Every structure is written in structure tokens, then in C-alpha cells.
Amino acid sequence: METATAKTEEKVLGEKIESLIAIGAATAANCIPCFEHLYKKAIDSGITLAEIKRASEIAGQVKKGAHIALKNSISHIIGVKETRDLPCDQTANKSCCG
């Protein structure tokens, strides 16, 4: 008979990557209190301003593309023929997500 053993959660991503993902999520969610908290935590852990800025920029690009796609879907649902090009469509080999 096998006995149950407690498994410790393995850290798949490093602390730095997790912090940058959280900063991106806070940016995309427009959560200023989250961003302020995560920013301080990131700076204290040695993440650079350039890394924080880039994580926020990528989040903004994803959010912008998602918002355009949402507006296009709404236009389609309500029968308006106007659509906007997604940033992904404007440049070959570059997606709206970064």
C-alpha cells in the first residue's frame, strides 16, 4: 500500500520572471495599487527599471491588441462593417503582443 506524501511545490519560474509577469498583469489590469506594490518588491529584489518598463510595455501592447479585437467583435455583432486593423496585421513578423 502506498502512503500519501506531501509534495513541495516546485518553483518553475524564477522570482524575477514571476515579478515581471505580475507587473505586466497589474499593468494590463490597470491596477495602480498592485503595480505600486509589485514595483517596490521588484526594485527591492534587484530588477532594473528597464526590465520593469519593458514588462509594462509588453502588457500594454497585449492589452491594446485585445481591445481592438474586442471592438471589432462588437462591430461584427451589432452589424457595423467598420473594423480596425490589429497591430499584428500591420507588420510582418510582429504581433500586437510584443
The amino acid occupying position 65 is: G
First to last CA, the chain: 51
The predicted pLDDT at position 95 comes to 53
Confidence at residue 82, expressed as pLDDT on a 0 to 100 scale: 82
In the chain the beta strands, taken as DSSP E runs, fall at none
Which pLDDT does position 91 carry in this prediction?
47
- Residue ranges and CATH numbers for the domains of the chain are 15-90 (1.20.1290.10)
pLDDT tens string for the chain (98 positions)?
A: 555 555 566 778 999 999 999 999 999 999 999 999 999 999 999 999 999 999 999 999 989 988 888 898 999 999 998 888 876 655 445 555 55
Distance of CA 80 to the CA centre of its chain: 30
Q: How high is the pLDDT of residue 84?
A: 81
Q: Which three cell numbers stand for residue 31?
A: 491596477
Alpha-carbon span 2 to 87, nearest angstrom: 54
